[in-house]
């Protein structure tokens, strides 16, 4: 847990110094800080770590805004608007808590961020906020009272609500959930309450989000006081639904649950901790296919999530990569279904076909370059700095590892252009005496050797496919 705290400070220092920091790594740090808040014995310490984790998620949105500004990406201000609204919700939850005052003061300028310099100043300030080193509740020492010690009335246990388990569709809240829009999905929640305040009739868990209320439906959970002894474990099942579908390039929806006792005059929790943030994606490949081939679509989504998680591409680069994968994934599917590349094909003919195919996409068109100089050589094709290396082979590719000998060339071009991702497209024109493999199985990410460590998205286009009737002769 201490390591996550150090990582968070280092991330803020890097962002404050104008450096890039992996968005997915920052999300993992937030999750680990949430874990820490569950285990600390003092509710005040747990609250501070929970508030810090929530504030880091807002910083993440600002980091994406900064990158969008630098890339001149369209509608980059949506990240800034989201951060400001989420900070407003954060202030409602933590603004009146004394333990979080240092974080409230440090993030005060967030509501008026206008420049990248403002963002970097906030990151530097947050990096300098001291956080207590918490003690896990399991490690509390119990010292027996001496025989002459005057018996004192014990202080009441700090009032806290801890989200022990939060699942959507059977998956824990720390993951990104993929939900089909306009369908109901089960949601299970388990919370631990340290004690029940006097005069309280109900505990209510309410979802909040910066997303428009019309775009989602999430259950509100209501609990009455249990008849057992504290601490109480409360479990309930609800429903979740997204009312609209997302686009391929959209970030996941983000929701958070708050806890409050009713009536409002009752004592309220000192700490609300644990995993209570939901990341939900509502992209429906059945209704909005990417390539026209569902297994290929599923593979593209996996690659997209990998690039986001590892931080190998910024928002604009990822957008360009997905445009290329949409066209090339469709080509891979058609190559198997329609035997597009029948007979003998050379590398030049293959490149001419792919170039023509890519330029048919309105979002690629004239931006596709051919034979652009890089690393002392010339790339086959490139789109706004994303390299597309094309190869043709007459030797049967039976597994993706057979493509590794082409990886370093594509990686070299990517490094020369300041990128960490490249595309490699290989046409297999070997004589085939067996059925082709699935187009989706011919798409994978192969890593180049260190120190470059470039992610080379490799697609095998199957050519010279034998007709099924000939395979039985």
pLDDT in tens, 35-91: 766 666 566 777 788 888 889 989 988 988 888 888 777 777 878 888 888 898 888
- 77-81, 182-186, 385-389, 434-438, range with greatest mean pLDDT: 385-389
Residue 155 has pLDDT above 60, yes or no: no
Q: How many helices (H) and strands (E) does the chain have?
A: 10, 19
Sign of the torsion angle spanned by Cα atoms 393, 397, 399, 401 = negative
What's the average model confidence in pLDDT over 2-24? Answer: 84
pLDDT at position 44 is: 74
406 neighbors 459 (Cβ within 8 angstroms): no
Q: Which of 307, 312, 282, 182 is nearest to 239 (CA)?
A: 182
**How does the average pLDDT of the chain come out, rounded?**
85
How confident is residue 401, by pLDDT bands cut at 50, 70 and 90? very high
Mean pLDDT to the nearest integer, 5-13: 88
Mean pLDDT of 367-396: 84
Alpha-carbon torsion, ordered 176, 411, 325, 334, to 10 deg: -130
Averaged over 453-469, what is the pLDDT? 89
Residue bearing the bigger pLDDT, 375 or 350: 350
Q: Round to whole Å and give the CA distance between 133 and 44.
A: 12
Query: Would you give the end-to-end CA distance of the chain in angstroms?
Result: 64
pLDDT at 256 over 50: yes
* Distance, CA of 231 to CA of 161 (rounded, Å): 10
Top-confidence residue, 141 or 230: 230
Reported as a pLDDT band with limits 50, 70 and 90, residue 246 is confident
Q: How many CB atoms lie within 10 A of CB 433?
A: 9
pLDDT tier at 142 (50, 70, 90 boundaries)?
Answer: very low
pLDDT of 12 over the 50 cut: yes
74-78, 173-177, 247-251, 322-326: which is most confident:
322-326
């Amino acid at each position: 847990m201490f390591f996550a705290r150090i990582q968070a400070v280092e991330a803020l220092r890097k962002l404050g110094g104008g450096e890039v920091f992996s968005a997915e790594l920052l999300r993992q740090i937030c999750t680990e800080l949430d874990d820490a808040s569950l285990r600390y014995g003092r509710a005040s310490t747990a609250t501070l770590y929970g508030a810090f984790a929530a504030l880091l998620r807002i910083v993440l949105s600002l980091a994406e805004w900064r990158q969008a500004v630098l890339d001149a990406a369209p509608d980059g201000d949506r990240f800034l608007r989201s951060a400001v609204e989420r900070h407003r919700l954060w202030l409602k939850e933590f603004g009146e808590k004394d333990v979080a005052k240092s974080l409230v003061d440090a993030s005060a300028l967030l509501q008026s961020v206008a420049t990248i310099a403002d963002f970097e100043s906030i990151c530097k300030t947050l990096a300098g906020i001291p956080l207590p080193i918490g003690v896990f509740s399991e490690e509390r020492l119990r010292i027996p009272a001496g025989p002459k010690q005057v018996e004192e009335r014990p202080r009441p246990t700090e009032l806290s609500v801890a989200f022990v388990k939060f699942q959507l569709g059977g998956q824990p809240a720390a993951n990104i959930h993929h939900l089909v829009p306009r369908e109901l999905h089960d949601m299970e929640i388990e919370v631990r309450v340290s004690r029940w305040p006097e005069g309280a009739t109900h505990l209510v868990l309410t979802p909040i989000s910066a997303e428009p209320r019309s775009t989602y439906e999430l259950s509100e959970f209501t609990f009455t006081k249990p008849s057992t002894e504290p601490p109480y474990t409360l479990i309930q099942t609800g429903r979740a639904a997204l009312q609209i579908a997302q686009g391929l390039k959209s970030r996941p929806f983000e929701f958070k649950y708050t806890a409050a006792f009713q009536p409002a005059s009752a004592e309220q929790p000192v700490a609300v901790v644990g995993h209570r943030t939901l990341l939900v994606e509502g992209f429906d490949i059945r209704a909005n296919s990417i390539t026209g081939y569902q297994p290929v679509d599923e593979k593209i989504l996996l690659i997209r999530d990998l690039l986001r998680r590892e931080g190998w591409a910024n928002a604009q680069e990822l957008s360009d990569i997905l445009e290329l994968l949409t066209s090339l994934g469709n080509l891979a599917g058609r190559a198997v279904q329609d035997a597009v590349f029948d007979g003998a094909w050379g590398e030049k003919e293959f490149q001419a076909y792919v170039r023509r195919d890519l330029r048919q996409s309105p979002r690629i068109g004239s931006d596709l370059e051919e034979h652009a100089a890089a690393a002392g050589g010339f790339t086959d094709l490139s789109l706004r700095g994303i390299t597309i290396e094309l190869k043709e082979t007459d030797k049967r590719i039976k597994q993706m590892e057979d493509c590794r000998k082409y990886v370093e060339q594509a990686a070299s071009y990517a490094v020369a252009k300041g990128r960490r991702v490249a595309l490699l497209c290989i046409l297999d024109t070997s004589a085939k005496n067996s059925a082709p493999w699935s187009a989706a199985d011919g798409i994978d990410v192969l890593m180049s050797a260190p120190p470059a460590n470039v992610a080379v998205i490799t697609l095998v286009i199957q050519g010279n496919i034998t007709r099924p009737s000939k395979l039985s002769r």
